[in-house]
A and B are shown apart, each in its own frame.
Chain A
Amino acid sequence: VGVPDDIGGAGAASADRAEVGDDDFGRLYRAQYPQLVGLARLLLRDPAGAHDAVQEAFVRAYAARRRIRADGAVAYVRAAVVNECRGGLRRRVRWSRRAAPAEVAPMPPEEHLLLDEERRTLAIAIAGLPRRQRECVVLRYWLDLSEAEIASTLRISTGAVKTHAHRALTALERALEALR
């Protein structure tokens, strides 16, 4: 899945240190929204929550647009979506702790129907990964980000990205082996 780093206009490319104007913001919104909803959906596993997270991230980006460099706008919104998803998970966990003993969220029925057994196993294993490992997997294999881009998004070192990604893939391989 390609990520256009230019926010959508020649003006942005010619003024990469300029702030993000309202027109640029609109283009950024239209160009990035679908992919970011996919990102949020994978991190949250909640379609409605995914839209909310992306909307909220854009609200934050809009409020900060005069501080954002045009060439960093996509990265800014992407990081904001990841942060919103973390917040959403915390709120969900807090609510579930009050309402009932904490459990791993069951697989949504629509996901169950869409996936064959192997993918179902992988989906459950991905959902059960520690947060950082799951974020690294989604950013690497859904958004096709480089290790440096993932490190920048998650504010961790590239070494940590390698470690989390390696551990995640090892865990996922084990999950598949257990299936056989």
Chain B
Amino acid sequence: MSSIEERVRSTLETLAGAPDEPPVDGPDRAAARARRRRIRRVTVVSFATIALAAVATVGALTVDGDDGVDVELTDTSVGTSRRPNPSPTAAAVSITGAPGQIFVQPVTGCGEWRDTVTGALLGTLEAVLGDCDARPFAVGPGGELWYSTGVDDEVAIWAKGPGQTPVMVVAGTGTAAISPNGRFLAYAIGADRDAIVVRDLAGEQSERAWSGLPVPAEARWSSLVHDLAWSPDGSQLALAYRFGFENEEGEVRVLDLDQDSSLAEATLLPGELEAPQWSADGSLLATRVDRDGDLTREVVRFDDIEGPPAADDRFGRVPVVWVSGDRTAQFLVGSTEMGELYALQPEEARRLPVEGTFVAW
């Protein structure tokens, strides 16, 4: 009897059918359509150029996309010399709780910490945890590394202090996030991971819970809440959840933690949004937005959520990270589907100092 792999392979070959020849006018047609599309994208390209020019002026993380994934780290506090790509196969770059360090997640292999100035390798995830598949998401005020293991709705949350053995803090959740002051842990619970608990990590570890997420009847996703993001002042929690056939549709709500309201009453952001990231002053929320199947990234002005986005980026397709470059400016960092890293400065983003040593990933 054939193995399951062979049966799957055979079934797929039948389903795929006989090879189709490309339309004879294909390349020309593609070229013509591409030319039309280029014209439509002029304004976007111009915006990106302006944004990158602004980055170069004030310093932060800049990108040379000519070589696919080249990224240069610049910082006006130490000069603007060009430095090498910290990781030629970087898929994502994050900032850590430690000043001067950047966490790079390669496409394959272990994540690693590098010096933001020199690009020098400072350590690897494997050396710290002995596990490449763990996903770090925060560095606590005491230097403890917070990370998750597992997938879907069976995620475990761990904490490991310097020189200590890892401790499992929560098991069987969908996602979790640490508050900016490191005191509270928010995570998803419930059979569908459709409720939120905030645990006070100090003292008696008390908990508060919120439920009532308006979930459509046809929801099939194993973990409905898949992203949590604390506002910088710790008073609000943005939660992204998905639902529906193929689990591709989602929304973002912002829960005011001072209120005992249900999640159904939490502020619903327009559009189909996911992966929210707050700016340092809490006035902007960067998200992925699905507009009729076309994924873009936008920066929502939180004090005017119905208004136009502060910035948009049609090319980004991965979660975004706010980076405080020279500690006075804020930038979005992301990568395209092919791993090109770049920075984007939202229009009118206010220049604010970044305080403390804890910064969410």
Contact = CB atoms under 8 A, between A and B. Distances in A.
Interface in A128-180: 130-131, 137-138, 141-142, 148, 151-152, 155, 157-160, 163-164, 169, 172-173, 176
B165 interface: no
A143 B64 CA distance: 32
A59 interface: yes
A151 B249 contact: no
Contacts of B79: none
Contacts of B123: none
Interface stretch (B30-38, B253-261, B350-358): B30-38
B30 A155 contact: no
B15 interface: yes
Contact of A122 (B8, B68, B218): B8
Interface in B121-164: 132-133, 151
B259 to A, nearest CB: 31
A-side interface size class = 35 or more
Contacts of A159: 132-133
B293 A90 contact: yes
Contact of A83 (B31, B34, B37, B337): B337
A155 B337 contact: yes
B12 interface: yes
A26 B26 CA distance: 9
- Per DSSP, chain A at the interface is helix
Given A102-B244, A119-B14, A157-B108, A76 B67 contact: no
B338 interface: yes
A38 B246 contact: no
A56 to B, nearest CB: 8
Contacts of A97: 244-245
A59 B16 contact: no
A62 B32 CA distance: 10
Contacts of B338: 68, 72, 75-76, 79
Contact of A59 (B20, B34, B133): B34
Contact of A67 (B11, B107, B340): B340
A165 to B, nearest CB: 10
B16 A93 contact: no
A89 B4 CA distance: 27
B290 interface: yes
B246 A93 contact: yes
Interface in B64-78: 65-68
A141 B339 CA distance: 25
B293 A33 contact: no
A79 B337 contact: yes
Given A34-B19, A59-B34, A79-B337, A157 B133 contact: yes
Given A29-B30, A38-B19, A137-B8, A89 B246 contact: yes
Interface string B1-33: 000110111111111110111110011011101
Contacts of B218: 101-102
B222 to A, nearest CB: 8
Contacts of B339: 155
A172 B4 CA distance: 8
Contact of B26 (A55, A63, A79, A111): A55
Contacts of B107: 148, 151-152, 155
A72 B20 contact: no
A51 B105 CA distance: 34
Contacts of A86: 248
A155 B108 CA distance: 10
A169 B4 contact: yes
B14 A29 contact: no
Interface of A: 1, 17, 22, 25-26, 29-30, 33-35, 37-39, 41-42, 45, 47, 51, 55, 58-59, 62-63, 67-69, 72, 75-76, 79-80, 83, 86-91, 93-94, 96-97, 101-104, 111, 114-115, 118-119, 122-123, 126, 130-131, 137-138, 141-142, 148, 151-152, 155, 157-160, 163-164, 169, 172-173, 176
28 contacts: A1-B13, A33-B26, A38-B17, A41-B17, A51-B20, A55-B23, A55-B26, A58-B30, A59-B33, A62-B34, A67-B65, A67-B68, A75-B338, A79-B337, A87-B293, A90-B293, A94-B292, A101-B218, A104-B245, A119-B11, A122-B7, A126-B11, A131-B247, A138-B12, A141-B12, A142-B12, A155-B318, A172-B8
Interface of B: 4-5, 7-17, 19-23, 26-27, 29-31, 33-34, 37-38, 41, 65-68, 91, 105, 107-108, 132-133, 151, 218, 221-222, 244-249, 290, 292-295, 317-318, 337-340
Given A101-B218, A157-B108, 14 more contacts: A29-B30, A37-B20, A41-B15, A41-B17, A42-B16, A58-B27, A67-B340, A79-B337, A87-B294, A90-B249, A91-B292, A111-B15, A115-B15, A152-B107
